[in-house]
Structure 1
Amino acid sequence: MNTYGKQFRITTFGESHGAGIGVVIDGCPAGLPLDTAFIQQELDRRKPGQSKITTQRKEKDEFEILSGVFDGKTTGTPLTLMIWNEDAKSKDYAHIADQFRPSHADYTYTEKYGIRDYRGGGRSSARETAARVASGAVAKLLLHPLGIRIQAYVSQVGKVKLEKEYSQLDLSLTENNIVRCPEPAIAEEMIALIDATRKNGDSIGGVVTCVIKGTPAGWGEPVFDKLHAELGKAMLSINAVKGFEYGSGFAGVQMLGSEHNDAFYTEEGKVKTRTNYSGGIQGGISNGADIYFNVAFKPVATLMRDQESINEKGESVTVSGKGRHDPCVVPRAVPIVEGMAALVLADFYLRNATSKLR
């Protein structure tokens, strides 16, 4: 499916080397002031060619509104945003027209559809995420008046790991360096590692941590559409994602229940918890505390070195690395993670409006 959401729904379209990438947003309420400068700012955070540690493909990623806006406000009809491709170099992929790149979607797309767009991976390219960031920016605009803020940052690259918890960090520093890590000294180590990996023709993975503040208690569905389940689905749908954990995550298995339980108390009439191992979600529903989670990204599959593989005939071939690729995706993945989180929350915001009589 190319559609996500129930009340706030997005459908993305386009390929890496096609005419462009776009998204149709259906269910966005009428009357939302559409801050185009903010949407462009979000796209600029994701666009290629930002620094020496990202792909050198040059795309401005300037968007065009095709429908759904009048006098600067949404009309309630389908909102369509279009981003035209300007710097596609399809010839860079001619050598893999009949070859399967290791750990790419080449083979699986061929098995599923019987045809594939080998130019930059076509629909399986990370370029598709531009549409997610654009629509996620609209979702953020819907959530901002509610006081909800979503902040992601790079917490790990390879073995270089940020040991501090998010509450110990100044997240306002995240955008101050090209790797988007809020701890300057660790950021420099990460940048050096990615750059050395790039020069060696290899790639490396990492972790993006996301913190959501201000979500009211009561958002989420109790059984199949649990809030954390939808966040996990949204994150795992992002290219190169291999893992998702929220709250205490896998580390929680080492704790006793008496240590892990989040005790309730009231302060100025508000229900709070003394700890937050639940990650702001209990029973699949938000409890008003900070929501936080980690997203693990694998090393990029395209390497600037030869790899063994097969072609469509099953013959052994050597796949040569060409083109423009990120040696590590996590710096540009930060706004993608935020955008997908915003889409999940915007959907639950609208769904929750019908959960009970007022």
Structure 2
Amino acid sequence: MAGSSIGTIFKISTWGESHGKALGVVVDGCPSGLELCEEDIQVFLDRRKPGQSKFTTKRSEGDKVEILSGVFEGKTTGTPISLIVRNESQISKDYSNIAQVYRPGHADFTFDAKYGFRDYRGGGRSSGRETIGRVCAGAIASKILKQMGIEILAYTKSIGDIEIETFAKEEINNNKLYMPDAKAADKASKYLEELMNNGNSSGGTVECVISGVPAGIGDPVFDKLDANLAKGIMSVGAVKAVEIGAGVDASKMTGVDSNDGFINEDGTIKKTRNNAGGILGGISDGSDIIIKASFKPTPSIYSKQSTVNKNGENIDIEIAGRHDPIIVPRAVVVVECMAAITILDAMFVNMSSKLDNIVDFYAE
């Protein structure tokens, strides 16, 4: 299968299936000398693992990570880092009734159309468990970025039509929906409970704010920083739209309303506002990079749905198994990690953008 790798210098390749023996990632391009242990990665994985609340799948997985290579005596060696998370709670029989059926909203039909074969156990590579590898790699990228003074904060901005009205950073981890607004979280919880009682699911949005990226990161044509961020985040299953800065609202503005002004404050060029979301012409402008990712509702719902089977017969289906009524809360850390992977790779690529950088690096 092509398309399981992303990155130019900091490059990751994820592998594994939802109901296989394990999933993981190979991270290439991580420099030597980074202090790294399994706990550094585990804290990120714990944020996406199932069974955290009534709003996540009841699949009981510890999602414990093991470092197989690339780390010696507590530090990265500069060689590929291989990470593995073993599956421990597969119940593949839950999916036997859909082996010959195309589930609405899933990749069953398209996988069959492309490969003539599909792993129907939980979706195989199209399962949300594929994101385990992304989170492992993102934990490493985040640790490197932190040493550069770059911080990434992601949170749930909306669930259904319930959107946050206030922002309190400390509230994000106080509720299982990862919303920075306690009232919105309470309202969203009641909304989700109602949907669950009716065998239904909800979509929502994740917002991600990247602080500390210097001006000048990214490239002006095909490798625009916003284009690569959009690709990385859009590659997460169930993401249907990615916005940078004002996003779709920019289409409703005039130039006067849209353009961000510049100001010189004590020798530092800053912007008077940030409709551009921290990126101009595909290159970072030094202000916060703001991204919003929109997720569709979980396609596995307990309501009866119409579909067809592999023989082309029209049938009804009722899906069994263990499924999240909403993807967004567990996807918050996935968006954060894909942003970290993309930003770190762009930082590494940028090191060769000026001759002076190369000369200074190799000068004695």
TM-score normalized with structure 1 length: 0.97
Q: Deviations over 1:12-33 (max 9, x none)?
A: 0000000011100011111111
Q: Distance in 1 between matches of 2:104 and 2:4?
A: 24
Quick one: which amino acid aligns to residue 314 of structure 2?
Answer: S
Query: Which residue pairs with 1:319 in the alignment?
Result: 317
User: Aligned pair 1:90/2:88, yes or no?
Assistant: no
Q: 2:12 aligns with which of 10, 13, 21?
A: 10
Name structure 1 gaps, 5 residues minimum. Answer: none
Distance 1:108 1:352, change over 3 A: same
Contact 1:241/1:297 (8 A) holds in 2: yes
Shift of 1:38: 2.6
Query: Which residue pairs with 1:119 in the alignment?
Result: 121
- Of the structure 1 ranges 34-43 and 88-97, higher mean CA displacement relative to structure 2 is found in 34-43
Quick one: which amino acid aligns to residue 111 of structure 2?
Answer: Y
Quick one: which amino acid aligns to residue 274 of structure 1?
Answer: T
Q: Distance in 2 between matches of 1:336 and 1:30?
A: 25
User: Aligned pair 1:298/2:300, yes or no?
Assistant: no
User: Aligned pair 1:252/2:250, yes or no?
Assistant: yes
Query: Which residue pairs with 2:104 in the alignment?
Result: 102
Query: Which residue pairs with 1:351 in the alignment?
Result: 349
Query: Which residue pairs with 1:225 in the alignment?
Result: 223
Q: Deviations over 1:156-206 (max 9, x none)?
A: 111111245xxxx22232111010001001111111111221121111100
Q: What SS class does the counterpart of residue 339 from structure 1 fall into?
A: helix
Q: Distance in 2 between matches of 1:255 and 1:221?
A: 26
Shift of 1:268: 2.8
Quick one: which amino acid aligns to residue 18 of structure 2?
Answer: S
Q: Deviations over 1:318-356 (max 9, x none)?
A: 211100000110010100000000000110011011111
Q: Identity over the aligned pairs, expressed in percent?
A: 49
Quick one: which amino acid aligns to residue 136 of structure 2?
Answer: A
Q: What SS class does the counterpart of residue 23 from structure 1 fall into?
A: strand
Query: Which residue pairs with 2:279 in the alignment?
Result: 281
Q: Distance in 2 between matches of 1:101 and 1:254?
A: 37
Contact 1:151/1:171 (8 A) holds in 2: no
Name structure 2 gaps, 5 residues minimum. Answer: 357-364
Quick one: which amino acid aligns to residue 319 of structure 2?
Answer: G
Q: How many residues align?
A: 354
Q: Deviations over 1:272-330 (max 9, x none)?
A: 00111110000100011000011000011111122111110101122111000001100
Q: Distance in 2 between matches of 1:173 and 1:73?
A: 34
Q: What SS class does the counterpart of residue 28 from structure 1 fall into?
A: coil
- Of the structure 1 ranges 275-284 and 250-259, higher mean CA displacement relative to structure 2 is found in 250-259
Q: 2:33 aligns with which of 31, 34, 49?
A: 31
RMSD between aligned alpha carbons? 0.9
Q: What SS class does the counterpart of residue 294 from structure 1 fall into?
A: strand
Q: Distance in 2 between matches of 1:298 and 1:258?
A: 33
Contact 1:227/1:281 (8 A) holds in 2: yes
Q: Distance in 2 between matches of 1:163 and 1:170?
A: 10
Shift of 1:35: 4.2
Contact 1:13/1:21 (8 A) holds in 2: yes
Query: Which residue pairs with 1:192 in the alignment?
Result: 190
Query: Which residue pairs with 1:134 in the alignment?
Result: 136
Q: Deviations over 1:226-250 (max 9, x none)?
A: 0000011011100101111111111
- Runs ≥4 in structure 1, deviation > 3 angstroms? none
Contact 1:110/1:116 (8 A) holds in 2: yes
Query: Which residue pairs with 1:60 in the alignment?
Result: 62
What are the residue-to-residue correspondences of 1:253-272 with 2, within 5 Å?
A: 253-272=251-270
Contact 1:30/1:76 (8 A) holds in 2: yes
Q: Distance in 1 between matches of 2:202 and 2:79?
A: 42
Q: Distance in 1 between matches of 2:306 and 2:260?
A: 51
Q: Distance in 1 between matches of 2:68 and 2:350?
A: 29
Quick one: which amino acid aligns to residue 38 of structure 1?
Answer: D
Q: Distance in 2 between matches of 1:199 and 1:31?
A: 51
